Structure 1
Amino acid sequence: MPDFSVVGVWRSCVCNMNTFLYISCCFIRGIKRMSTPASAKDRRPHSKARCQTYPGSSEQRQSVPDNKVPWCVEFPEYDPPEYTAPVVKKGPVWADPGDLGSATIRFNKRDGLVNRVSFTGDYDLKNNTPQNPSGRTGLKGRGLLGKWGPNHAADPIVTRWRREDGEVLIDESSKKPILQFVAIMRADSGEWAIPGGMVDAGERVSLTLKREFGEEALNTLQHTGADRKILEEQIASLFTKGDEIYKGYVDDPRNTDNAWMETVAVNFHDDEGTGVARLPLQAGDDAGSVRWMNVSSALKLYASHEEFLRKTAERRGAHW
């Protein structure tokens, strides 16, 4: 008979060190951590956010073992280097001031047009500096990210069924239909990814989703006149209804201890294959290439995009 006593439950938690550490942190930080969305609670310690060499630089992160990721776990030798990319240090309009001591930033709130609220709940501040809610990354500063704290993005997952002679193809092993999504090759890393991007200050996520897909997958910025209008109308038609797949923290290689990516991923599905499925894909903006790609467990994508596609396949009852 299962032991439902406090001691019994505690012993069962100890059997899994990661679970034990997570639950311990939840008690230490308070019940607010237990009320985070399910999408945030079931994530594992971030790994891509601890990549050894920071993207676009030679900066090396301090190594952080899985069991030392949570802030509540003692790690006295933790003294990571600080790095903020030169492009961010120049102070473009989309970036925060570098000196938080003299800046007036309202963390965990709507700060004018800037959304500084995290999907994971209130994040901690140390010396007025945001602390990554998923734990240590081995690097301080902002890296390539403009905002201290959460940097919000939107990821449109545009899908269709793979067809041959008009018939939806079924995978022989799973006996489920094969789903395809529009994938772009990122110019900065050479990795395949969902064509998403940053939410501009004051911009609605719904607009970001349409804008980023058009610019990266259809190269709308290079079209003019009637051609551009037709493309924008077709995108708008598809994007009238979407299914939210994920909303929360992203395990992104650009993350640091003080700045991190969060996103809303929405699936826009062309079930009949008569809408966006027929649009001429053309890489634009910061995409190196674009194509329809089969959705499966063999995917190796940028950041947390594999997980977004897995959830999409589950939602559509498709092969994974």
Structure 2
Amino acid sequence: MRVPNYGMIHFLLRRNWMCRIRLALTLLGLPCTVASSGRRSPIACSSFPPFTSSATARPITSSSCNLYLTSVLTMPTSAVPHSKSRCPQYPGLNIKRFPVPDNQVDWSQNWPEYKPVSHTDSAVAKKPAWADPEIGSFSPNFNTVDGSVDRTSFEGSYKVENGKPLNPRGRTGLTDRGLLGRWGPNHAADPVVTRWKVDAKGAKIQHPVTKRPILQFVSIKRKDCGQWAIPGGMVDAGEQVTLTLQREFSEEALNSLSLSPSERAKINERITTLFKSTGFQVYKGYVDDPRNTDNAWMETVVVNFHDDSGDSVSELPLHAGDDAGQVKWADVDSSSSLYASHSHFLELVAKERKSHW
């Protein structure tokens, strides 16, 4: 039987109170910083995703790369209701959500007074390739793979009401799709590519305080909000997640879209070797995202690919592309301020690799 980690329990309870205080302040009318509209619009409201603890790794096989998982300790859904998904100001436009207090988030709570705001962004309504049509003009099959679109959720089976899927984490104060293209789960993938920080002789550099080797990861500066982040993006219809991880890294960190076919082939050969190596699945599940609505929400898979010998991606020149303004190798360190939950993901990677944090 596993012995409870009382230090972690105290930490989670403390952060629970922080989230509740933050939400109370926003409901009182204090501003919540948002950025310009877009398919992956950011928000400054903080939240804390489920924690995982490294223990007894077991290998698994994905469709095109090997992954391994560690046992997962997940916070109860009711402990920290999705706060970003209820931030009063919806990203981009002057759209304000219907206020949803903590005790009314769950769909099981009877709330006749609930009158959420209906909103679908004009960019989504124009029916781009990455977006669904309006419900009524077509009838999607939820909780399954619907043609080329995966409408299953990492959260398990979700409810459908009046032909529309219900957010598995509860009410958000806004219906329809907002800035998201798909009804139901919108799947994304985030690759964390790491290497060891080494000196001129190739020896690992240890942190002077923790005495642990320092990891570096490929970090991009997002154009939409100016924050440093892990590369990542949406899973295209019919695309394997493992291919999304490689594609997004190539486009955002190596600017592969601007290269000639021959140059692109050389890069693909180099990074394919890394992405076919055994990767560590850092997180897989619901994302507390400011774009979430009652009927559409973000889910992601975060995977760490580690260039242990430093002779793979480490030797490639980094060039920002696609949604990235800048790109660099950055030290993995707890003092770094990153976009959304990316610092938390790096903490899990550092613990798994037994590196400095």
The 8 Å contact of residues 48 and 303 in structure 1, kept in 2 or not, is answered as no
Query: Does the C-alpha gap of structure 1 residues 286 and 238 become closer, same or farther in structure 2, counting only changes over 3 Å?
Result: same
Amino acid paired to 1:177: P
Please, what is the CA RMSD of the aligned residues?
Answer: 2.3
- Is 2:283 the partner of 1:256? no
- Is 2:341 the partner of 1:304? yes
Q: What 5-or-longer segments of structure 2 have no aligned partner?
A: 1-12, 17-70
The count of residues paired between Structure 1 and Structure 2 equals: 287
- Is 2:263 the partner of 1:227? yes
Work out the CA distance in 2 between the residues paired with 1:249 and 1:312.
19
SS at match of 1:181: strand
Q: Is 124-133 or 298-307 further displaced after alignment? A: 298-307
Which of 95, 99, 108 is the aligned partner of 1:63?
Answer: 99
What TM-score comes out, normalization by structure 2 length?
A: 0.74
- Is 2:114 the partner of 1:78? yes
- Is 2:200 the partner of 1:162? no
Query: Does the C-alpha gap of structure 1 residues 299 and 62 become closer, same or farther in structure 2, counting only changes over 3 Å?
Result: farther
SS at match of 1:297: coil
Deviation at 1:38, TM superposition (A): 4.5
Work out the CA distance in 1 between the residues paired with 2:219 and 2:105.
31
- Is 2:207 the partner of 1:171? yes
Q: How far does the alpha carbon of each residue in 1:2-44 deviate from its partner, in whole angstroms, 9 at most, with x for none?
A: xxxxxxxxxxxxx99x8xxxxxxxxxxxxxxxxxx94665563
Query: Does the C-alpha gap of structure 1 residues 171 and 49 become closer, same or farther in structure 2, counting only changes over 3 Å?
Result: farther
Amino acid paired to 1:125: V
SS at match of 1:163: coil
% identical equivalent positions? 57
- Is 2:264 the partner of 1:206? no
Which of 95, 100, 105 is the aligned partner of 2:131?
Answer: 95
Work out the CA distance in 2 between the residues paired with 1:159 and 1:190.
22
Deviation at 1:86, TM superposition (A): 0.7
Q: Who is 1:7 aligned against?
A: none
Which of 166, 172, 185 is the aligned partner of 1:150?
Answer: 185
Query: Runs ≥4 in structure 1, deviation > 6 angstroms?
Result: none
Which of 38, 41, 47 is the aligned partner of 2:83?
Answer: 47
Q: Who is 1:130 aligned against?
A: 165
SS at match of 1:318: coil
The 8 Å contact of residues 161 and 273 in structure 1, kept in 2 or not, is answered as yes
The 8 Å contact of residues 253 and 303 in structure 1, kept in 2 or not, is answered as no
The 8 Å contact of residues 184 and 194 in structure 1, kept in 2 or not, is answered as yes
SS at match of 2:351: helix
Deviation at 1:297, TM superposition (A): 2.5
Q: What 5-or-longer segments of structure 1 have no aligned partner?
A: 1-14, 19-36
What TM-score comes out, normalization by structure 1 length?
A: 0.82
The 8 Å contact of residues 149 and 259 in structure 1, kept in 2 or not, is answered as yes
Q: How far does the alpha carbon of each residue in 1:39-88 deviate from its partner, in whole angstroms, 9 at most, with x for none?
A: 66556322222333222222222333334332223444432212211100
Query: Does the C-alpha gap of structure 1 residues 139 and 174 become closer, same or farther in structure 2, counting only changes over 3 Å?
Result: farther
